[in-house]
Amino acid sequence: SSFTHPPHCAMPPSLLHMTSGFQKKVRSLPPLDPEVLSVFVPPFTSKDESQSTTTYCNNVNKTKRRSFRKKKERPKAENVKGLNVDHRVPDTEDISVPKDIDLVGLPELCFPGIMCSESKEDHIHFLVFTDVCGNRTYGVVAQYYQPIQDGCIPANGQAHWESVQTGKAFACFVPFAVCVISRYPYFNALKDCLSCLLVHLRPFKDIDAEDHIKEFAAKLFLIPSPPPGPLHLIFNMKPLQIIIPSREDPDSPIIDLDLHLPLLCFKPKQVLQVMTCILTEQRIVFFSSDWALLTLVAECFMLYLHPLQWQHTFVPILSHQMLDFVMAPTSFLMGCHVDHFEEVSKEAEDLILININNGDITSSKLSERETEIPDVPLEAAEIFVKRVQSLQLHYDLELCHLTSGINLSELQMRRRAWHQKLNTEVQQITLQLIFNIFREVKDHLNYEHRVFNSEEFLKTRAPGDQPFYKKVLETYMFHSFLKARLNRRMDAFARLELSTQTEEDRLNLMLDSPRRPTMEKMASKRFNPQYMISRRMVISMPNLQDIKPQGNPIKNSSLRRAETEPRKFSPKSVSMFRIPEVHFPLVSQCVHSYYTDFINHLSRTISNLPPDDSALLARYFYLRGLISLTEGKLLNALSDFQNLYKTDIRIFPTDLVRKMIEILPPSERSQADRKPELKRLISQVTEKQREMTKVDDHVKNFELPKTHMQLDDFVKRIQESGIVKDIETIHRLFDALTVGHQKQIDPETFRDFYNYWKETEAEVQEVNLPPTVIEYLDKNECVYKLSCSVKTTYGVGKIAMTQKRLFLLTEGGRPGYIEISTFRDIEEVKSTTVAFLVLRIPTLRIKTVSKKDIFEANLKTECDLWHLMVKEMWAGKKMSDDHKDPHYIHQALTNVLLMDAVVGALQSSKTIYAASKLAYFDKMKNEVPMMIPKTTSETLKHKINPSVGETFPQAVNVLLYTPGHLDPAEKPGDTFPKLWCALNEGKVAVFDASTWSIQQHCFKVGSSKLTCMVMVEQSQVWIGSQDSIIYIINTHSMSCNKQLNDHRSDVMDIVVEQRNSIPSQAYSCSLDGTVIAWNISTLKVNDIFQLPCQNLTSIKLHNDWLWCFGKPLCYGRQDLMWQTRERSHPDRAPKLSDQQIPWKPRALSLLHFPELHPSSPPSIQTVISFQLWIGSRGLSQGKIKGKIYVVDIERKRVEKELVGHADTVKALCSAENRYVLSGSGKEEGKIAIWKVE
């Protein structure tokens, strides 16, 4: 490619091609077709050249040109001849034309219009080539004209002209074209390069021009493409400075054009129409009188849709010989000259014709009916139009208040800065549009079974928006978008989604409740400012005793509405690296000197950079690795690429490194094996290649079953439907739906159950309570069930149930609110009958603690169901309060709604009995009454469930609390306090510790069990894993872009040493006895030593001594013993070899804890406020449960036994010396927060 990596060995061949073509048109001759005159491809120098450096650098010898001419067919061997060599010598061996570039069609694209013999101004246009796999290659073409004397016919088919005396007339001019082909869309950069070339071509004759073009091509070939990130490259191409921009991140496209061009050609509503045509995959043809605009405008629309991608034919320029392409039957996007508008309109059917010149959007005339372009969803469209209208699109207006530039470079950089700023604004606006259109797609995805419920998604769309969505949902583009969501790809869409999550969104993730509108949403619909929630400012953990599970604070009032205010993103700083000059790019020794200068320049820059600027360091390591690879220094290149693990692993070139390893000569491979870091790199890359498996990227649309279902199939179908995910709940639902039948469910029963569930959900969505009722309810309460209108002791009305209370929605002239009871205050619930004349009417009776009067409601046929539901909610609330776990009340709520759906779906006398199978908490309350020990109840403050939304609970392996600072709205980059939770298979969940709402749901670091976490500094959390890697998480971006790979076994523990309250270095240990001391800022190894043991499990720093603990040597019945070794402070101890390290065994006095269960040794412990908290398991009420023993260190005795988990306590951590947080094993998988006395 024009600016891609220089080739070496097994690397793909370079794809830089410099093509120059010409067309002769003399009055006495008929018009001729354009033809390729020369093709220049790398390599441009040979290593076998033997001339001296002095000769090379002072006398540029003419090298053999790879050139040929061609007419209508590919050139044969005899047609391929050098221009300056004997024509009998074939030159076919030197020609390398990439397979995806068809030289037969290229001349027509270089001269897509009608050529003329009159002199015209030099001009540029742009090409895009697409191969059969959809890979794109880009071309930039410069056309210029040279005079030719009347009657002069070039000899041997080669153009020839001579200098002309002043006043000499010419019969015609010959149009020439120079085409640069690149793998990457560097439109502006290549345009600038070709502009510089044309300046220098004027004085040359034909052969001299060929030499100059070849030298130009060779120079471009030496320019590498910058890696993704904050580093652009700049080089000198007299008289301009050329900037090669990098993409923002590995998933972002390269943007080297002006994104506002379509906004100058179309009104905002027309832009939306064009985007709709692309999103619905129409057959689209652009028209313009300017060939350059065709490609640039089409490319802009492609970028507007990012991260969605057009996957069909993309030919933004058609020459007049290619017009039959528009007859293709499939979706496509093409472009041609506006002169062909009528011809195309009459000859082809069902085309969308877009005229860039005047902004018109029409359909072809052969269409039986005009193609309907559905409107973009109204709210998203209005926001887009408003934001586009606020943009400053005219550079002249920007210049009004600026001083005049005094040199070309200053003017160029000033205009570039303005374009860059505008490009960023346009990107933000278009990304927000795509986000507003598709943000609720995730609510209808099932990640476990990769199912999208398109029918339910469409039902939730506004009627006016449905035509748009119906068409879009059928496209390949949307299908690929679904794959990316199900693969949890962290692209621009996902990042925007995370940054715009409201507190309500996070709470919904925590509680996994069925979707219902909250009171806050109802209030916001009425635009009532009284109910808009003010922004919260919390910089520390809350007093947990004040937290009410049913009233979690909301800190963002934007809810699920599309954003109406533009989100301001601070511009990312970008650095420039100036590439050294290359004076003689056709001379191998000079090229070698250029590469040497390049490496030296990079090395100086690396040495001058501070170690904490890892983003830039990574880019410089990457570039130096590429240049070393080009020079054949494979080990140097591998070392530079290995440094990316500690600077930014996201840009690690895995495929390139794998190919390098495959071609390493035996001598260099043995050298690499003697270097531990390279040996480790080679091992990792090789193992990763073996472990690579095909990613399951299918997407299935949800369909109702058509056959009978056994239990396992029923579980899968219910999970796919999105109704409930918990396996045990689905098992109970299966029992309920199969009461009185064989243990299988027929399709009709499933359909009835599913339809009733969805209909009930839709009905409750339509509930619109008046403000006089909403003011009595909490902002996050939802109405989940409404009865029919019934007679009660409080009057006539409908009984409404929320997750917190029952209330009566009174009827009459003005609906009113009468509270029946909160579930916490219920004392008794009965189903009875009352006499009315000769009838006995079923009645629900509720007695509350706070009221003397008993509430009665004549619910008639609904009575038994409401009796079951109220008892289940009452029991769930009691369980929730006793265990300080809000998840229980929401689980009870799910059970209640399933009961309702079962009764609605089953038409039999046993429906209430069937529904009772789902009364899980009521049965627990009646059959297994469990008392919570008083000590536990007083100390336990809150519980959270990090496994919510999963099919099974997951063990909490490690916990870490990190303190917070100011509100991010006040100071970007600062954070709330966080709780980090390591689950199975490398998953990490992060909670906002000020509200216990989930901040980031399960990002992954590797796929092995995580063993330890520590906050090394404010912006870094280190996570140790059983795969022997330490993963470094950036706490601002919440992403892992660094790894430490020096351990050879399970990383077991990490500790941080601080001096003057500043982290100085970190220590990590692995199971094989290795201890490594790390420099935190540079991530270099300060020291490494090996203990004579194979079971090292943890390390601690105390009084400048590092204590290392191995697994227990033995267990007494009630005793615990550790083998302990110590080492003096590394910075104060002499540097010794592993054999000389003065490790000394130390005996610990044994602590006797009779309370510990003999078969349950401590699994984890932490020290806080002169207390030792030990996590284990033990007997409670006759059962083995998770226990925490609180030991008074001074008295050496157990002060408290806390029973808050149903499984072994696996993790403990402290928070601000006020709380201890504990996590349990996979049987429960919850986190408890305990108050420290």
* Rg of the chain, C-alpha, whole Å: 36
Strands (E), 795-883: 795-801, 805-810, 816-822, 826-836, 839-848, 855-857
Q: 763-820, pLDDT tens digit by residue?
A: 887 888 888 899 999 888 889 999 999 999 999 999 999 999 999 999 876 778 999 9
Measure the CA angle with vertex 1002, ends 449 and 434; round to 5°: 75
Judged against a pLDDT cut of 60, whether residue 554 lies above it is answered with no
The rounded distance, in Å, linking the Cα atoms of 623 and 621 is 6
The rounded distance, in Å, linking the Cα atoms of 55 and 1112 is 75
Q: What are phi and psi of 610, to 5 degrees?
A: -65, 145
Task: Label residue 24 by pLDDT band (50, 70, 90).
Answer: very low
Task: Label residue 1142 by pLDDT band (50, 70, 90).
Answer: very low
Q: 866-908, pLDDT tens digit by residue?
A: 999 999 999 999 999 999 999 999 999 999 999 999 999 987 8
Pairing of strands 1231-1235, 1164-1168: unpaired
The confidence score (pLDDT) of residue 88 equals 32
- Higher-confidence residue of 400 and 786: namely 786
Q: 496-528, pLDDT tens digit by residue?
A: 998 888 766 776 666 666 667 777 676 665 543
Q: What are phi and psi of 658, to 5 degrees?
A: -60, -40
Among the residue ranges 64-68, 300-304, 1192-1196, the one predicted with the least confidence is 64-68
Q: 319-350, pLDDT tens digit by residue?
A: 888 899 999 989 999 999 999 999 999 888 88
Judged against a pLDDT cut of 50, whether residue 936 lies above it is answered with yes
Judged against a pLDDT cut of 70, whether residue 613 lies above it is answered with yes
The rounded distance, in Å, linking the Cα atoms of 1113 and 1111 is 6
Judged against a pLDDT cut of 80, whether residue 8 lies above it is answered with no
Q: 972-1021, pLDDT tens digit by residue?
A: 445 688 999 999 889 999 998 888 888 777 788 988 999 999 999 888 99
Q: Does the CA dihedral 473-476-477-481 come out positive or negative?
A: positive
The confidence score (pLDDT) of residue 988 equals 93
Residue pair 779/520 in contact (Cβ under 8 Å)? The answer is yes
Q: What is the average per-residue pLDDT within 391-419? A: 81
Q: 560-572, pLDDT tens digit by residue?
A: 445 555 555 556 7
The confidence score (pLDDT) of residue 356 equals 96
The rounded distance, in Å, linking the Cα atoms of 932 and 629 is 67
The rounded distance, in Å, linking the Cα atoms of 212 and 204 is 8
The rounded distance, in Å, linking the Cα atoms of 1118 and 18 is 82
Q: 648-690, pLDDT tens digit by residue?
A: 999 999 999 999 999 999 999 999 999 988 999 998 888 877 6
Q: 623-632, pLDDT tens digit by residue?
A: 999 999 999 9
Whole-Å CA distances, 946 to 291, 709, 977, 1221? 57, 31, 17, 13
Order of strands, sheet of 1164-1168, starting from the edge strand that comes earlier in the sequence? 1164-1168, 1171-1180, 1183-1192, 1197-1205
Q: What is the average per-residue pLDDT within 1111-1136? A: 35
Whole-Å CA distances, 10 to 14, 41, 655, 657, 689? 11, 17, 11, 11, 17
Superfamily of domain 1005-1111+1119-1152: YVTN repeat-like/Quinoprotein amine dehydrogenase (2.130.10.10)
Q: 């929401």: which residue's tokens?
A: 890
Question: Which helix (H) or strand (E) element contains residue 899?
Answer: helix 887-905
Judged against a pLDDT cut of 60, whether residue 555 lies above it is answered with no
Pick one of 3.40.50.10800, 3.40.605.10, 2.30.29.30, 3.40.50.300 as the CATH number of 505-528+554-559+706-929.
Answer: 2.30.29.30
ω into 43 cis (within 30 of 0): yes
Residue pair 725/448 in contact (Cβ under 8 Å)? The answer is yes
The rounded distance, in Å, linking the Cα atoms of 944 and 989 is 12
Judged against a pLDDT cut of 90, whether residue 599 lies above it is answered with yes
The confidence score (pLDDT) of residue 740 equals 77
ω into 549 cis (within 30 of 0): no
Q: 720-748, pLDDT tens digit by residue?
A: 998 999 999 999 999 999 987 788 999 99
Judged against a pLDDT cut of 50, whether residue 1200 lies above it is answered with yes
- In the chain, CATH 2.130.10.10 sits at 1005-1111+1119-1152
The confidence score (pLDDT) of residue 1163 equals 63
Tokens of 433: 């549009």
Q: What are phi and psi of 1192, to 5 degrees?
A: -75, 115
The confidence score (pLDDT) of residue 347 equals 83
What percent of the chain is predicted at pLDDT more than 70? 77
Q: 209-250, pLDDT tens digit by residue?
A: 888 899 999 999 999 999 999 999 999 998 889 999 999 999
Tokens of 318: 């058609």
Order of strands, sheet of 313-315, starting from the edge strand that comes earlier in the sequence? 313-315, 332-337, 283-288, 352-355, 361-363
b/e for 98-107, b at 16 or more Cβ within 10 A? bebbebeebb
Q: Phi-psi region for residue 620, left (φ > 0), alpha (ψ -120 to 50) or beta?
A: alpha
Q: What is the average per-residue pLDDT within 1082-1088? A: 91
- The one-character DSSP state at 1120 is B
The rounded distance, in Å, linking the Cα atoms of 354 and 359 is 7
CA dihedral (293, 363, 373, 307) in degrees, to 10, reads -30
The confidence score (pLDDT) of residue 948 equals 83
Tokens of 914: 């069937």
Judged against a pLDDT cut of 60, whether residue 183 lies above it is answered with yes
Residue 114's CB: how many other CB atoms inside 10 A? Answer: 9
Judged against a pLDDT cut of 60, whether residue 48 lies above it is answered with no
The rounded distance, in Å, linking the Cα atoms of 632 and 914 is 75
Q: What is the average per-residue pLDDT within 279-297? A: 96
The rounded distance, in Å, linking the Cα atoms of 176 and 206 is 11
Count Cα atoms within 13 angstroms, Cβ side, for 517: 18
The confidence score (pLDDT) of residue 33 equals 74
Tokens of 799: 């009984």
Strands (E), 908-1050: 940-944, 958-962, 978-982, 987-992, 997-1004, 1010-1017, 1020-1025, 1030-1034, 1039-1044
Task: Label residue 384 by pLDDT band (50, 70, 90).
Answer: very high
Helices assigned H by DSSP within 62-186: 106-110
State which of 79-88, 367-376, 518-527 shows the largest mean pLDDT: 367-376
The confidence score (pLDDT) of residue 455 equals 92
Nearest Cα residue to 486 out of 952, 478, 721, 249? 478
Task: Label residue 268 by pLDDT band (50, 70, 90).
Answer: very high
Tell how far CA 632 is from the center of its chain. Answer: 36
Q: What is the average per-residue pLDDT within 110-138? A: 83
- Higher-confidence residue of 791 and 25: namely 791
Among the residue ranges 63-67, 405-409, 1056-1060, the one predicted with the least confidence is 63-67
The confidence score (pLDDT) of residue 947 equals 87
Nearest Cα residue to 814 out of 769, 757, 855? 769
Residue 658's CB: how many other CB atoms inside 10 A? Answer: 15
Average pLDDT over all residues of the chain = 81
Judged against a pLDDT cut of 60, whether residue 1217 lies above it is answered with yes
Q: What are phi and psi of 166, to 5 degrees?
A: -60, 135
Q: Based on the number of CB atoms within 10 Å of its own CB, is 968 exposed (0-12), middle (13-18) or buried (19 or more)?
A: middle
Question: Which helix (H) or strand (E) element contains residue 1198?
Answer: strand 1197-1205
pTM of the model: 0.85
Q: What is the average per-residue pLDDT within 953-971? A: 76
Residue 599's CB: how many other CB atoms inside 10 A? Answer: 20
Residue pair 971/965 in contact (Cβ under 8 Å)? The answer is yes
Tokens of 461: 């769309």
Judged against a pLDDT cut of 60, whether residue 11 lies above it is answered with no
The confidence score (pLDDT) of residue 351 equals 92
Tokens of 387: 């934001």
Q: What are phi and psi of 134, to 5 degrees?
A: 90, 0
Per the document, the length of the chain is 1237
